[in-house]
Structure 1
């Protein structure tokens, strides 16, 4: 986020950069600010917001451009565990409302199961898809509530098995040095 811009102006920025901010698209700004739960903070600056609120501003900015696919690369990695869980629930709610296609990159197996419809387990080097696993748990999902389900534990165990195998392969790989 740009610290000199308000929440409203940060959300507007994506459309401005695409040269798509006009009378037709300006109504998206308050819509997406409300959707991410930041109504009343439109004139606030990033320094006045919590880490989770700043993440919501970034999400609103991305959604306001209405992309066909939204790429999120570990968006909750820099927030505390409680904020991360709240943001996961919020993202699931927003995706449920917007029907947005999201490619979500995470190192958290639990986060992948909570948010994903399909999970692509990727090898380390070279990065290739090792396996794609469907998430058999119906939506809406709450990360805390699904952890006791057998479908959850079975999928989590399978993903860990794939990741552990990958880790063992990496541990045996010869070290390479650059001259």
Structure 2
């Protein structure tokens, strides 16, 4: 259920970012960003301006006419985030969007996601297997149990905002990471 309504299909008020960028290789980056606009039959001129603003916001201005294979993995993921935001959804769902990236790019994208979240004001639900990433990005971490997946614990993260990567070296962040890790150790999930 979303906003009190049963979900029986795609919702226009929800944007989705997948594990892989899932950009269409025959379309330019700008054309990829515009896919939800086409599907929902929204005003192309109005949302085309929004697409350009989003590409600028994520540091891809000047790359709209490039094709996906001309961009790095991190740049492709940023284009995927633009695609998810172009129709101005209230909620952004992200399914391990940085899992396939190298460690340095992943950290950069974590910082970028915080900036995008701050500038867009969207509700973001992020699925990740990285405990430090969950603590760094979140106000609340929902810990799921091993199969069958059930909510095992909800942990409010009380770390100051805005955050930068130095937060992860702080004792306060370490307490949250260890609390979550201890839960998994108790379940026999982490050796």
TM-score (norm 1): 0.89
3-state DSSP of counterpart to 1:71? strand
Distance 2:44 2:25 in 1: 23
Structure 2, unaligned runs of 5 or more: 1-22
Cross-structure match for 2:103? 81
Match for residue 121 of structure 2 among 99, 103, 108: 99
Cross-structure match for 1:154? 175
Matches within 5 A, 1:167-178: 167=188
Q: 1:32, CA displacement in angstroms?
A: 0.7
Structure number with bigger Rg: 1
CA contact (8 A) 1:12 1:21 kept: no
Q: 1:61, CA displacement in angstroms?
A: 0.4
Match for residue 13 of structure 1 among 12, 35, 40: 35
Cross-structure match for 1:35? 57
Count of residue pairs the alignment pairs up: 169
**RMSD between aligned alpha carbons?**
1.6
**Which structure features the higher share of helix residues?**
1
Distance 1:125 1:69 in 2: 27
Work out which structure has the larger RCO, using CA pairs closer than 8 Å and 6 or more positions apart in sequence.
2
Cross-structure match for 1:166? 187
Q: Deviations over 1:81-118 (max 9, x none)?
A: 11101111101101011111010000001100111110
Q: 1:126, CA displacement in angstroms?
A: 1.4
Cross-structure match for 2:77? 55
TM-score (norm 2): 0.84
Moved beyond 4 Å, runs of 4+: none
Q: 1:147, CA displacement in angstroms?
A: 2.5
Q: 1:164, CA displacement in angstroms?
A: 1.3
Cross-structure match for 1:129? 151
Matches within 5 A, 1:134-149: 134-143=156-165, 145-149=166-170
Distance 1:83 1:117 in 2: 22
Distance 2:81 2:157 in 1: 24
3-state DSSP of counterpart to 1:104? strand
3-state DSSP of counterpart to 2:125? strand
Distance 2:99 2:63 in 1: 24
Indicate yes or no: 2:156 matched with 1:117.
no
Cross-structure match for 2:12? none
